Amino acid sequence: MVGDGHVLCSNSNCSNHNSKKSKDNKNKKKKKKKRGGSKRKMTPEQTLAFKSVSEWVFLDHPSSSSSLSFSAAASFLVDDFGVQKSLGKGGEKMVFDLHSHSKCSDGFLSPTKLVEKAHVNGVKVLALTDHDTMSGIPEALEAARRFGIKIIPGVEISTIFSPREQSELEEPVHILAYYSSCGPKRIEQLEKFLANIRDGRFLRAKNMVSKLNKLNLPVKWEHVARIAGKGVAPGRLHVARAMLEAGYVENLKQAFARYLFDGGPAYSMGSEPPAEEAIQLICNTGGVAVLAHPWALKNPVAVIRRLKEAGLHGMEVYRSDGKLAVYSDLADVHGLLKLGGSDYHGRGGNSESELGSVNLPVVAVHDFLKLARPIWCDAIRDIFESYAEEPSDSNLARITRFGRTRILKGGSPLSCGKDLIDRCLPLWLTNEERQNADFEAIRLKLSHISINQGGIPIPVGSK
């Protein structure tokens, strides 16, 4: 026996055995590479990207980021996708999952349980992207504080794409929107837009139930509404769950494959807006617009080309089974970010990717944040500017919408608006982003506004 476990033999049988063994080992290595890839030291580009990403991820815990020296980061190992510290057996990946759902739309878990699951799976940054609602974000943020996870407030918007002068070729398109920790600017405009879509989802689900009834599958609307839960706009998954519980299908996959697929016998459209309109609204409210699961589209080339013209920033390219080359190439052609997420719903089974199972390259995450952070910074500035110009309850609520407990009740009492901005900005922006003349001007204006603990702003001079 010699190094690497190879056996030295002289007869042909042993030679054949070794040949077979060598072939098996090669196959095993190939399979292993698919799952995790080969580990190697980071390149200078990856090292710089990792440092920048770390700074943002650990804004809430600056000591975690500042303790990371450049040389220490350079000694980290990187696989084909994620980044891993060279800490041996207990090594920790910095995992981003940019696509997930909770019970606030068609997921199975509450936002709190979803965050808990993300923590168990080693996720460091989670985007909650429920369908057509951001109602789960405050709960997710509160839970994330307990588990040391960063939440990106997001939403997956249901839209329709209609080729010019070819209405018969229209198809549903989902657009992911990612916002800063402060949330969207002009949020009322976004909420009205999403509310109209949710109203359409109710009508759509009722139409699907009606079609199923005509197919001799007497699913009850009350059953679908009960599964969806109070205040939740029902989707196809809720209808599929009602079919499963009523015994009309063997599993959820069968419900979609036989009845609910796009254009299927029980499929129905809602009141989805044009995809271009949704993208423009995302841009106008301080968000980053990303095309979800382009592999589900009938005509991805035409869709991507038109949506890029409308302002699309990126598209999903990475899945749990790796990068899809054809969509990566399309992203390159149109200069789009390459992203991805698990699209986790919590339904279980082999047909669903696990939360945190999509490995994004650190350079892809860095490119995303490099584009997103200036957009988010501008949105935060606009939100604070509005409050400085008009210190009303409604403008204060726009600042504290997604983190009221932490902002108004965390730490020492806030005495004036300057205390408010000084408490918020370190949580949301890097030191470099905060060193901005606009923020200094806003800080000066807010120093004259007093805030009591009830959240009602009072001019300092009136006390």
CB 182 within 8 A of CB 383: yes
What is the reported pLDDT for 405? 62
pTM (2 decimals)?
A: 0.82
User: Which DSSP symbol is given to 38?
Assistant: -
Mean pLDDT of the chain: 83
**For residues 414 and 424, what is the distance between their CA atoms, to the nearest angstrom?**
11
pLDDT band at 27 (very low <50, low <70, confident <90, very high): low
DSSP string covering 137-163, please? HHHHHHHHHHHT-EEEEEEEEEEEE--
pLDDT in tens, 383-437: 999 999 999 889 998 998 887 666 666 566 777 888 889 989 998 999 899 998 9
Query: Could you tell me which residue, 134 or 405, shows the higher pLDDT?
Result: 134
pLDDT in tens, 49-58: 998 999 899 8
Strand partners, 152: 127
The token pair at 313 is 């920033």
Whether the predicted pLDDT of 81 surpasses 80? no
Cα of first residue to Cα of last residue in the chain, in angstroms, is 88
Nearest Cα residue to 384 out of 429, 341, 340, 328: 429
**For residues 136 and 348, what is the distance between their CA atoms, to the nearest angstrom?**
21
Size of the chain in residues:
463
What average pLDDT score do residues 170-188 get? 95
What average pLDDT score do residues 89-104 get? 80
What is the reported pLDDT for 223? 95
pLDDT band at 89 (very low <50, low <70, confident <90, very high): very low
What is the reported pLDDT for 231? 81
pLDDT in tens, 336-393: 999 999 999 998 777 789 999 999 999 999 999 999 999 999 999 999 999 999 998 8
pLDDT band at 157 (very low <50, low <70, confident <90, very high): very high
Query: Could you tell me which residue, 213 or 43, shows the higher pLDDT?
Result: 213
From its phi and psi, is residue 88 left (phi > 0), alpha (psi between -120 and 50) or beta? left
What average pLDDT score do residues 146-150 get? 92
